[in-house]
Chain A
């Protein structure tokens, strides 16, 4: 039997919770959150380290503490949520099919849907590491769950491939639990993680970080017995003469996060080949009317604070959409050039109220002494001088109403890195 709801939010992690709270505060009362895990909070539940919430709450919280703040807000507002409920399909006309043990197969017709289902880790297979296939190879997040939720240690002698934030956090976590982290291996000449994590998780524990290296083979039949590590050339090809065996029983992979967009694809949402998430406007609405996206399913964030802010925006806009306020008008593309890889949103609605908005973006490499600019038909609307920018740190540009107005009256919006070294 099909039920009807105004707003269905898929995912009860930080994105979904913030979206629900904001939609409620915007006047929407008919909200349903569908969460596949047994608890609200999403991946934050296993992130027991601190450092969350500096922007949102001006204090340092652990992941579960940060999540709890939002869970409390949702509970306070009596927003309905279903746990252990996996969404199987979202159709273009916003019919959501989910399954759980109690309801069986549930079908909900929604006026608006917010996809807030997060991302997954890139596995070993996706990066083509040759060798044996025994136990002991984990993505960093899986290891994090085993340690922090289940209370088990995945291994004692560890090599970590990739210097993404979860890998860095896990280097410290495994060290705390008595494991020996022998090295962190990074393919690129720079880290994709936050600088503060390199300092606090590696340097403070004398864990070596090898740039421009990769794992070329995994040894060990039943269980990992070692990994062969080699330097790579400027085209990232391994230089086999430099290969050396590092004995270990565990390889953790922190080689990238991928927005989990199977539901969006099923709904016919257009995806960006760069972010892996949907293409959205400043209201976080995709090109399917009434389907919104926010959080790591849209693009992978560094800080949960920014996820919350983005998702509150999505929640507000979804509530307004249900009230008929947000319409899919003509859209101006936001172009990114000269070292800027992408910008979210990818479009701005041409007409619309002139409110402050934020643009989030990542750069393609490490660039020094540059100015990050936003130009409307060639005229500089915004500029921010940066001593250094890196792919591992998301850039966030906050624009005031005046600047937004200028952008929305332009034919072309271009975001660029100006000055500094030459870039492709």
Chain B
């Protein structure tokens, strides 16, 4: 008998698992993918929103502002990349200036601090590459950027170290009420008796909710395409640059990432399928054209990759957070933007609710601190030398574009909830994420992974499932 089954190990599920892992409880996280953070969490803008966008009084507003305030401490405690770089909403039309003021008012109503309305000149002084057509901007000092998958991985690792069990390849198929709680059955036949369930299933949260709740919900997968630019373009902006939504649409953002690339996107298209993450020619073109409005000097030559992700959109508009009408079944559904920012606050809130309902006691040996993988490329030569003295594998550079060493790669595989495939290594270490996009390091990474996992090279996958890199031996 489990105390809590958490469904989904994106940033929300992983955060909930971590916040619950400070209690004496049997926690299991069921993840359909091969790794944590393989859905919406791995493919979004990576923005820590200030909180001026959400309508006052909504859950989005509340959790956004509360979540934002947690990032400084949290990112230190869990050792994930976060930077408070500030954000700007740019207005390119005198007639739409009032839209900025509305956002400002909304921010104030939501309790956002550090907001200011600035002139076009001031915006360009701070961000010299934004369009000369900028007439005014809303600047938010508390805006930030985070590496979303590294944040989720950090949460999950810390939860695992504190006793939460993570099971991958477990797709929940049915939930039944039992005398003491629920019975959760997975497609692979595994079944779990549990007292409580927390539904953090992202774009599938409606399916999970509707297995047990009489109040049906619907989640629309809303796709966004992105393009990532070479680090050589990192000088183009420091703040996150939004466009003021206009009659013409919501616009796209141009932002630095925590690793120094420039990210542009996302587009917004409602999709039928929850696996429909293919980028399209039209949307990629649209993302780029819209980004040119913010920054006319952007060049397609500097694009190194494209990706897309699905927002878990609730047509009702707000997050669905809390206990449902079925006692013991909790939802964290419709967690679209500002969901990443909100996740830490949602997790604390849900964990508190569940713990109180189950009368859980706090552990005295809970360790809130997680130490990430040493990042060779960020270290001084002295620190590098020290690391190599301890483990010579840190002296072998495998990914030349991002200067990732074999030491880091081995670390990413061996640590709790370690990488099992090339994408897992990439999210944990950045190997393969640079300008050659794994052209050189793929064979080396395959060798290391096969060696560490004790499997044949032919069994190594890109992202689990049937994504083997090679089809077999040569003749």
Chain A: residues with CB nearer than 8 A to chain B? 36, 84, 86, 88, 97, 99-105, 107, 120-121, 123-126, 128, 130-135, 138-139, 141-142, 145-147, 149-156, 176-178, 216-217, 219, 221-223, 238, 249, 265
Alpha-carbon distance A196/B412, docked complex (angstroms): 46
Q: Which residues of B contact A153 (CB under 8 A)?
A: 470-474
Q: Which residues of B contact A142 (CB under 8 A)?
A: 438-440, 442-443
Residues of B within 8 A of A216 (CB): 281
7 A–B pairs (Cβ distance < 8 Å), ordered by A? A99-B388, A101-B392, A120-B435, A123-B436, A133-B307, A155-B470, A222-B467
Given contacts A84-B396, A130-B283, A133-B277, 16 further A-B contacts (CB under 8 A): A104-B384, A120-B439, A121-B436, A125-B305, A125-B306, A126-B301, A126-B303, A128-B284, A128-B306, A130-B280, A135-B462, A135-B469, A142-B442, A222-B467, A223-B468, A238-B281
A104 touching B395, Cβ below 8 Å: yes
Q: How far is the CA of A222 from the CA of B381 in the complex (A)?
A: 40
Interface majority SS (helix, strand, loop, mixed), chain B: mixed
Question: Which residues of chain A are near B467, meaning CB under 8 Å?
Answer: 134-135, 222-223
A154 to B446, CA, bound (A): 12
Do B470 and A221 have beta carbons less than 8 Å apart?
Answer: no
- Contact of A126 with B304 in the complex, beta carbons under 8 Å: yes
User: Which of A120, A133, A155 has the most chain B CB atoms closer than 10 A to its own CB?
Assistant: A133
Q: How far is the CB of B392 from chain A (nearest CB, A)?
A: 4
Please give me the residue from chain B that is nearest to A224 by CB atom.
B467
B439 touches A139 (CB 8 A): yes
Q: Which residues of B439-467 have CB atoms within 8 Å of chain A's CB atoms?
A: 439-440, 442-443, 446-447, 457-458, 461-467
- CA–CA, A330 to B377, complex, Å? 39
Whose C-beta in chain A lies nearest to the C-beta of B462?
A135
- B residues in contact with A131, CB < 8 Å: 278-279
Bound CA–CA A257/B436 (angstroms): 11
- In the complex, what distance in Å separates the CA atom of A101 from the CA atom of B458? 28
The answer to whether residues A152 and B473 also contact, given A133-B307, A217-B281 and a CB cut-off of 8 A, is yes
What is the CA–CA distance of A151 and B303 in the complex, to the nearest angstrom? 32
A103–B466 Cα distance when bound, in Å, is: 41
Query: Digit string of B228-257 for contact with A (CB within 8 Å is 1, else 0)?
Result: 100010000000000000000000000000
Taking a contact as CB atoms closer than 8 A, the residue among B300, B395, B442, B472 that contacts A128 in the complex is B300
User: Which residue in A99, A141, A176, A217 is a CB contact (below 8 Å) of B439?
Assistant: A141
Q: What chain B residues lie within 8 Å of A222 (beta carbons)?
A: 461-467
User: Least Cβ distance of A108 to chain B in Å?
Assistant: 13
Instruction: Give the size range of B's interface with the partner.
Output: 35 or more
Contact A100:B443 (CB < 8 A) given known A151-B473, A154-B471, A222-B466: no
> Contact at B462–A130, with CB atoms within 8 Å?
no
The minimal Cβ–Cβ distance linking B146 to chain A, given in whole angstroms, is 22
* Contact code string B210-243 (vs A, CB < 8 Å = 1, else 0): 0000000000000000011000100000000000
**Contact partner of B396 among A101, A151, A154, A219, CB < 8 A?**
A101
Decide if B395 touches A102 in the complex (CB within 8 Å): yes
B174 in the interface, Cβ–Cβ < 8 Å?
A: no
Residues A152 and B395 in contact in the complex (CB < 8 Å), given A128-B284, A145-B443, A177-B474 = no
B93 in the interface, Cβ–Cβ < 8 Å?
Answer: no
Contact B396 A130 (CB under 8 A): no
CB of A134 within 8 A of CB of B463, answer yes
Which A residues touch B392, using CB under 8 A?
A: 101-102
* Shortest beta-carbon distance from A297 to chain B in Å: 13
Query: What's the Cα separation between A133 and B301 when bound, in Å?
Result: 20
User: Contacts A88-B403, A133-B307, A151-B474; is A125 near B228 (CB within 8 Å)?
Assistant: yes
CA distance A219 to B301 in the complex (A): 24
Contact present for B443 and A149 (CB under 8 Å)? yes
- Find A223's partner among B232, B279, B385, B466 (CB 8 Å cutoff): B466
Q: Which residues of B contact A217 (CB under 8 A)?
A: 278, 280-281
- Shortest CB distance B304–A (Å): 5
Known: A123-B437, A177-B475. A36 touches B400 (CB 8 A): yes
> Of residues B307, B403, B470, which shows the largest number of chain A Cβ atoms within 10 Å of its Cβ?
B470
Cβ contact within 8 Å between B397 and A152: no
Q: Chain B residue with minimal CB distance to A253?
A: B439
State how many angstroms separate the Cβ of B278 from the closest Cβ of chain A.
5
Q: Which residue of B lies closest to A230 (CB)?
A: B281
Inside 8 A of B396's CB, which chain A residues have their CB?
Answer: 84, 100-101
Compute how far the CA of A121 lies from the CA of B400 in the bound complex, rounded to whole angstroms.
13
Residues A155 and B471 in contact in the complex (CB < 8 Å), given A104-B384, A125-B304, A222-B465: yes
Q: Would you call B303 and A132 a contact (CB within 8 A)? A: no
A192 CB, min distance to chain B CBs, angstroms = 18
Q: What chain A residues lie within 8 Å of B466 (beta carbons)?
A: 222-223
Beyond A102-B395, A130-B281, A142-B439, is A150–B384 a contact (Cβ under 8 Å)?
A: no
**B275 contacts the other chain (Cβ, under 8 Å)?**
yes
CB of B393 within 8 Å of the partner chain: yes
- Asked, given contacts A126-B304, A134-B467, A142-B442, whether A99 binds B275 with beta carbons under 8 Å apart, the answer is no
Q: Is B389 an interface residue, CB under 8 A from the partner?
A: yes
Q: How far is the CA of A142 from the CA of B385 in the complex (A)?
A: 31
Identity of the chain A residue whose Cβ is nearest the Cβ of B457 in the assembled complex: A152
With A128-B300, A139-B439: A150-B389 Cβ-Cβ less than 8 Å: no
Which residues in chain B, 137-168, are within 8 Å of chain A measured between CB atoms? none
A249→B439 CA distance, assembly (Å): 18
The answer to whether A221 touches B474 (Cβ under 8 A) is no
Please name all residues of chain A whose beta carbon is closer than 8 Å to the beta carbon of B435 when the two chains form the complex.
120, 123
**Among B300, B301, B392, B435: residue with most chain A CB under 10 A:** B435
By Cβ-Cβ distance, the 9 closest A-B pairs, closest first, are A125-B305, A123-B437, A101-B395, A101-B392, A86-B397, A135-B462, A222-B467, A152-B470, A135-B467
CA distance A133 to B385 in the complex (A): 37
Query: Which of B277, B300, B437: most chain A Cβ within 10 A?
Result: B437
- Inter-subunit contact A104/B440 (CB<8 Å): no
Bound state CA distance, A133 and B395, in angstroms?
Answer: 31
Q: Is the CB of A249 within 8 A of B279?
A: no
Q: How far is the CA of A88 from the CA of B397 in the complex (A)?
A: 10
A249 and B384 contact, Cβ closer than 8 Å, known pairs A121-B439, A141-B439, A221-B275: no
Distance of A266 Cα from B106 Cα, bound (Å): 46
Pick from B275, B405, B458: contact of A152, CB under 8 Å: B458
The CA-CA distance from A139 to B438 in the complex, in Å, is: 9
CB-CB nearest in chain B for A84: B396
